[in-house]
Amino acid sequence: MPGTQPREVLKRRPWRTSEVESGPRPAFVKRFHDARFPGRAVGRWRDRRRARREARRLTALAAAGVPVPRVLGVAETAGGVELRLELLESARPVSTALAAGLAAGRAIEGPGLARALGTLLARLHAAGFAHGDLHAGNALLDGQGRAWIVDAAAIRAATPARVARDLVRAAAAARETSSPRFRARFLLAYLAAAGDARRSEASALAEALEAAGRLERRARVAAESDRWLRASGAVAPHREPGLVLWFPTTLGPASALAAARATLAGAGSSAYRVVHGRRARGAWLAQARLVEHGIPAAQPLAFVERPRRVAVFAQPRGARAPRDGSASDARALGALAGALFDRGLCLGAPAAAIGADGRAHALPGAGLVGAPSVARALRPWRAGFGTDWTRAPGFAAAFATAQRGSRVQREAVHAALARAIELHAPPHRQA
């Protein structure tokens, strides 16, 4: 019977849990459990409404020929309202494929995946729908290389504005896990499948999409950074008498509790970096933004609200100060500065450490500010750690390499970088 077979939890959120149920009738299960009104009739009503609404939307997409898993039914259980879907064997989230490329040290460029995703989005729009929340976690890739939509919660009727928004959000969501070539291939596949007459303008459209995607990604991460201080997919609360804290869901409570208790007891440790008082909240949210952007940084461990406000971070392993004259350290700092600028950011002060992995990690307390120009992005590093790192061999090249935009955009950054460094060159002395 449904609900009695063994299950594997794939993702747990305050409002929904995704599971795979094995047995004679395997299924993908979305279990809705309202976090705002748990155990109350209004909460159960909201869960039932969300499950049935998504079931209707998936059924409508299937009828229009859009690849989605078949709806098996909606059922109420003690743990919430469940939406049961066909389990797509051998399928994996697109986000897993993109993450595998990053783990191998390269941004993915696979033409097959780009073509599958572009074709999928074109079919969705041709059927008269816009997705509304398109990212790599909402699509699956099966063993035959076909892409499927698995989340229809935000599906709406397509309008020109919503169609454009889908394209921008797709580019933004994949910007830090894929290469510019991959995103250009995605756009080409979309235009071809949609029969769009603008295929001859693909290069110009790709440039515009890259620029819009960069802005969208930065804005979205900034807007959602507050989820690191409320029950969400990013953090969860821990409460006990005299202690209230938030910890990252990827780490679990054990390491957060150990760090918080050691800090509150005054037991200093080289394993942690700590920010107290009024600056704690800002430091916590700034490091969270860096983590969301995939930038090397001291990892958030615990944000303590009671008995006093403290933010605790994991010290990068083997952390040390940059060494003056070190070419490898200059490259590491250049890569960090370049990655920050690529996301439209820079540090308020040159707070970074070189880790055992050879990368420069941003440290808490410096703050994040916008970087509207290359010159502004270089400012913290001109006198950082007592030297002008921007003129150190390897810094500029690493800064330029860290850019994830199109070739034209990377060339523009390279030219601006050369001008900014030359502008601050020390005057030549005449004999």
Q: Are 20 and 6 in contact (CB under 8 A)?
A: no
CA dihedral over 362, 368, 374, 378, signed as positive or negative: negative
Q: Which long-range contacts (CB under 8 A, 24 or more apart) does 229-234 make?
A: 229/281, 229/284, 229/285, 229/303, 231/14, 231/35, 232/13, 232/14, 233/11, 233/13, 233/14, 234/288
Reported as half-sphere exposure (CB side, CA atoms, 13 A), residue 403 has a value of 22
User: At 115, which helix (H) or strand (E)?
Assistant: helix 111-126
Rounded to the nearest 10 degrees, the angle between the axes of helix 180-194 and helix 160-174 is 150
pLDDT tens for each residue of the chain, 431 residues long: 555 677 788 787 888 888 888 877 889 999 998 877 777 888 889 999 999 999 999 999 999 999 999 999 999 888 889 999 999 888 888 888 777 765 555 555 567 889 999 999 999 999 999 999 888 888 998 888 889 999 999 999 999 999 999 999 999 998 888 888 889 999 999 999 988 766 667 888 889 999 999 999 999 999 888 899 988 888 999 999 999 999 998 888 888 898 888 888 876 677 899 999 999 999 999 999 999 999 999 999 999 999 999 999 999 999 999 998 899 999 999 999 999 999 999 998 888 999 999 999 999 988 888 988 999 999 889 876 778 899 899 999 999 999 988 888 888 898 998 888 876 555 544 44
What residues have CB less than 8 Å from 240, skipping those under 6 apart? none
Q: Are 94 and 141 in contact (CB under 8 A)?
A: yes
Query: Structural domains in the chain?
Result: 7-86 (3.30.200.20), 92-223 (1.10.510.10), 226-314 (no CATH), 327-423 (no CATH)
Q: Before 241, cis peptide (omega within 30)?
A: no
CA distance 112 to 56: 30
- Residue 31 pairs in a beta bridge with 17, 82
Compute how many other C-beta atoms are within 10 angstroms of the C-beta atom of residue 169.
20
Short-list 37, 71, 42, CA closest to 54: 71
CA distance 9 to 31: 11
User: At 276, which helix (H) or strand (E)?
Assistant: strand 272-276
Res 428: pLDDT: 45
pTM: 0.85
Q: Are 136 and 178 in contact (CB under 8 A)?
A: no
CA distance 167 to 130: 10
- Residue 313 pairs in a beta bridge with 273, 300
DSSP per-residue letters across 368-398: EEE--SHHHHHGGGSSGGGS-GGGSTTHHHH
150-to-56, 142, 184, 366 alpha-carbon distances in Å? 13, 12, 24, 40
